[in-house]
Structure 1
Amino acid sequence: MALQRKDRIKLSTPMGEREVQLWVGDITQLPPEDQVDIVFTSAFFGDYAPVPGTLIGSLQRNLGISVRELAKNKEADLRNMFSCWISEPLPPGLPYKRLVCFEFHCFKKSEGSSIQDLLSAQLSEMFRAMMPILNNHESTVITPLLTTGNQRQSMAHVLKALVDAACHWIKAGLPLKCLKLVLYAPDPSTLDEQNELCMKFFKRLKSAWNQKEKENASFAVISKSYDVCLSYSMKDQEQADKVVEELKKQKKSLEIHSTIFTVNREKTWQDEIFEVMKNSKRIVVVLTPAYVEDADCVEQFNLALCCNRLKKAEVVMPFLFELVPNIPSYMSLVQYTMCKARKENETAEGLLTAACKNLIHTLANLPPSEIMLNQEDSKEESSNKANANSLPSDSSKNYDILISYSHRNREEPCKLYNILREKYPHLNIFFDQNELKAGNLWQQALFEAVNRASCILAFLSEGYCKSSVCHDEFSIGLARHF
Structure 2
Amino acid sequence: MQKVKVSNQCEEKSKSKVTFCSATTHILNVSKHGMRLLDTININYKDSIRKIELCEGDLTRLSNAESFDLLVISAFPNDYIPTPTSLIGSLYSRGLNVSLLSKVKEIDLRKIFSCWLSIKINPNDYSGIQFNRILCFEPLVKNLSPPELVGDIFQSLLPMTEQYKIRSIAMPILATGDAMFPIQKMLSVILESSINWLKLGLDLDTIKIVAYNEQQAKTAKLIFNDYKEKEQLKHTHKIKRDFKYDYFISYSHKNSDEAKILLDSLLKKSSSTKVFFDKNSLKAGHAWQQELFEALDDCKQIFTLLSPEYLDSKVCKEEYHIAYYRQRESDLNIMLPVYLYSANLPTYMKMIQYHDCREGATDKLFDLVNNHI
User: TM-score under structure 2 normalisation?
Assistant: 0.71
Report the Cα distance in structure 1 between the residues aligned to 2:328 and 2:294, rounded to whole angstroms: 15
1:132 corresponds to which residue?
156
Q: 2:130 aligns with which of 85, 95, 108?
A: 95
1:295 matched to 2:314? The reply is yes
Report the Cα distance in structure 2 between the residues aligned to 1:263 and 1:48, rounded to whole angstroms: 38
2:352 corresponds to which residue?
335
Report the Cα distance in structure 1 between the residues aligned to 2:186 and 2:358, rounded to whole angstroms: 48
Q: 1:208-250 CA deviation, whole Å, 9 max, x = no partner?
A: 523541354136597664443221112213333454577679x
Gaps of 5+ in 2: 1-31
Q: 1:255 aligns with which of 270, 273, 292?
A: 273
State whether residues 41 and 101 of structure 1, in contact with CA within 8 Å, keep that contact through their aligned partners in structure 2: yes
3-state secondary structure, aligned to 1:322: coil
CA distance 1:339–1:41, shift in 2 (3 Å): same
Cα displacement (A) at 1:324: 2.5
Higher helix share: 1
Within 5 Å, which residues of 2 pair with 1:3-402? 3-15=34-46, 16-31=48-63, 34-62=66-94, 64-91=95-122, 95-104=130-139, 108=143, 121-135=145-159, 137=161, 139-184=167-212, 191=214, 194-195=215-216, 197-198=218-219, 201-203=220-222, 205-206=224-225, 209-210=228-229, 212-218=231-237, 225-243=244-262, 255=273, 257=275, 259-260=277-278, 270-308=289-327, 311=330, 313-325=332-344, 332=349, 335-337=352-354, 339=356, 360=373
Cα displacement (A) at 1:202: 0.8
Report the Cα distance in structure 2 between the residues aligned to 1:155 and 1:14, rounded to whole angstroms: 28
Report the Cα distance in structure 1 between the residues aligned to 2:288 and 2:331, rounded to whole angstroms: 22
CA distance 1:160–1:232, shift in 2 (3 Å): closer
Residue identity opposite 2:218 in structure 1: L
CA distance 1:278–1:150, shift in 2 (3 Å): closer
3-state secondary structure, aligned to 1:298: helix
State whether residues 154 and 194 of structure 2, in contact with CA within 8 Å, keep that contact through their aligned partners in structure 1: no
State whether residues 148 and 158 of structure 1, in contact with CA within 8 Å, keep that contact through their aligned partners in structure 2: yes
Gaps of 5+ in 1: 109-117, 186-190, 361-482
3-state secondary structure, aligned to 1:132: helix
3-state secondary structure, aligned to 1:44: coil
Residue identity opposite 2:250 in structure 1: S
Supply the RMSD in Å over aligned alpha carbons: 4.0
User: TM-score under structure 1 normalisation?
Assistant: 0.57
Identity level (%): 26
State whether residues 3 and 26 of structure 1, in contact with CA within 8 Å, keep that contact through their aligned partners in structure 2: yes
Report the Cα distance in structure 2 between the residues aligned to 1:7 and 1:333, rounded to whole angstroms: 44
State whether residues 43 and 199 of structure 2, in contact with CA within 8 Å, keep that contact through their aligned partners in structure 1: yes
Larger Rg: 1
Q: 1:117-142 CA deviation, whole Å, 9 max, x = no partner?
A: x7xx5223122331232338474221
